[in-house]
Structure 1
Amino acid sequence: MTRTIQQLFDLKGKTALVTGGSRGLGLQMAFALGEAGARIMLSSRKAEDLEVAVADLQAAGIDARWIAADCAKEADIRRLGDETLQRMGAVDILVNNAGAAWGAPAEDHPVEAWDKVMNLNIRGYFILSQHVAKTSMIPRKSGRIINLASIAGLGGNPPEMQTIAYNTSKGAVINFTRALGAEWGKYNITVNAICPGFFPSKMTQGTLKAMGEEKLAAHAPLHRLGDDEDLKGLTVLYASDAGKHITGQWLAVDGGVSIVTGG
């Protein structure tokens, strides 16, 4: 029998691992998944931030736990995957959200900063996706992977936004999503990406300061920045059976910025 829309979006009985989940977009997505019924394992580098975030999730009636890990380090990534499996069972939904940015002119961009951004923003996504797939998703022939890209991965930037490594890494995330979705479809694993536009967050503080919040908002046809709800719907669509026939895709959640900048 065809399921109702409520049944298709229901995540009860599912376990989600969300990296970079202690604040900002990661925490917003964790709330979305938890509100839809999933159990949540949050991860980021700082235990104190995770304690606060998990307390907020639990106060909302969400089953949430945390593991501190640095997703730029392979040993930490593998420990995160193994400990999640031990404590919560197989992972149904993986949200690769941990990320870093670095602002500098391309001609003077430090190589070590380039490596830092690439290690976290794309290498870490690959290692954790591979590890979770091999231990949880491929054996069960089921899984959902959601990668956080960015509209910065769709093209260049205004001159005042000098983030060559970040843009490059997010462009890589988009094609990583396509390639992985094509390869792992045979295991009934969907792989999709979200490309946020400008949301107030710690990572975008430099951009907001350089360009001004009003100026950034004015670039968007909807004339505003993203808020604390704007990623929720797409996150649950990708994670649930409502999106079971969507894979290898990206969608911009940017107030329309990318349609007027040619992204």
Structure 2
Amino acid sequence: MSSGKLFDLTGQTAIVTGGGSGLGRLMALMLAEAGANVVVGSRRIEVCEKVVKEIEALGSQGLALVLDVTDPESARQAVDKAVSHFGKIEILINASGVASQTPAIETTLKEWKAMMDTNVTGTFLMCQAVGRHMIENEYGKIINISSTIGFKGTDPEVVDAIGYTTSKGAVMSLTKDLAVKWGRHGVNVNTIAPGIFPTGMNGSEVQGSLLQKAGPIIASQIPLMRIGSDNDLAGAVIYFASAASNYCTGQILAVDGGLWAK
């Protein structure tokens, strides 16, 4: 297979949860640029519809769906609608997530459950719903989105969010176990662990955000000496979604400018 075809997603269908904004939106557009049809799901249909228009402007087909990843019936219905519309699903990106900056001693049970319900249970429910379809077809690429802060404890002066860090560590373990369980069925399961990117709650324009409070300090500690940009995740996303990663499963790829290497 030529190098160009290794990364070509033409004719394939992807579901991107949390695809209406932030990194999820960026990943949906990356897949569309590589030729994939993209199903964009989140709780807010209006933002998904805007992303679908961007996908169509790139020459690919899109579908916007209301999706609550914490609800198994919502997950199942989204998969059924995607299959009904496009015929099959080859790719799933679990980008839905919530975050909070609450120290461990102050974290409420409600906050803790919110992190676990969306970031961990939601990821599992989507893997389960799509996994049934992929196992039946003996092919699939699942990409779970974690974070480099899921690798280890974090400096409380930079990130003090026990629920978020714990949930992202759990996503890594979920990925490894599903990879072992589903490899025999032709389903690859991997994780991308982004470092700091200026999207969503991290954005420098967001009052009290991580980048607003500690952006220059964080950038100075990154070996590549900068925060991640919009295009920095593209290579990892297309690699894990395409035939280029056919012999790669159960892996966690940090895309963080080298911060995790320190």
TM-score strictly above 0.5: yes
Which residue pairs with 1:142 in the alignment? 139
User: C-alpha separation between the residues in 2 aligned to 1:66 and 1:4?
Assistant: 33
C-alpha displacement of 1:32? 1.6
C-alpha displacement of 1:159? 1.3
Matches within 5 A, 1:1-263: 3-134=1-132, 136-160=133-157, 161-205=159-203, 206-211=209-214, 213-260=215-262
**1:49 corresponds to which letter in structure 2?**
V
CA contact (8 A) 2:19 2:41 kept: yes
User: C-alpha separation between the residues in 2 aligned to 1:209 and 1:106?
Assistant: 22
**Partner-residue secondary structure (3-state), 1:91:** coil
C-alpha displacement of 1:259? 1.1
C-alpha displacement of 1:41? 0.4
User: C-alpha separation between the residues in 1 aligned to 2:201 and 2:98?
Assistant: 7
User: C-alpha separation between the residues in 1 aligned to 2:100 and 2:260?
Assistant: 22
**Partner-residue secondary structure (3-state), 2:212:** helix
CA contact (8 A) 2:95 2:144 kept: yes
Q: Deviations over 1:186-241 (max 9, x none)?
A: 00100000000000011224211222x22221111111111110111111111111
**Partner-residue secondary structure (3-state), 1:203:** helix
User: C-alpha separation between the residues in 2 aligned to 1:62 and 1:229?
Assistant: 19
CA contact (8 A) 1:18 1:40 kept: yes
Aligned length: 256
User: C-alpha separation between the residues in 2 aligned to 1:87 and 1:94?
Assistant: 16
**CA RMSD of superposed structures (Å):** 1.1
User: C-alpha separation between the residues in 2 aligned to 1:202 and 1:13?
Assistant: 30
Structure 1 residue runs of 4 or more that deviate by more than 6 Å after TM superposition = none
Calculate percent identity across the aligned residue pairs. 39
CA contact (8 A) 1:32 1:233 kept: no
CA contact (8 A) 1:11 1:37 kept: yes
**Partner-residue secondary structure (3-state), 1:21:** coil
Which residue pairs with 2:206 in the alignment? none
User: C-alpha separation between the residues in 1 aligned to 2:236 and 2:83?
Assistant: 26
Q: Deviations over 1:26-64 (max 9, x none)?
A: 111112211111110011111221121111121122211
C-alpha displacement of 1:121? 0.4
User: C-alpha separation between the residues in 2 aligned to 1:204 and 1:77?
Assistant: 27
- Structure 2, unaligned stretches of length 5 or more? 204-208
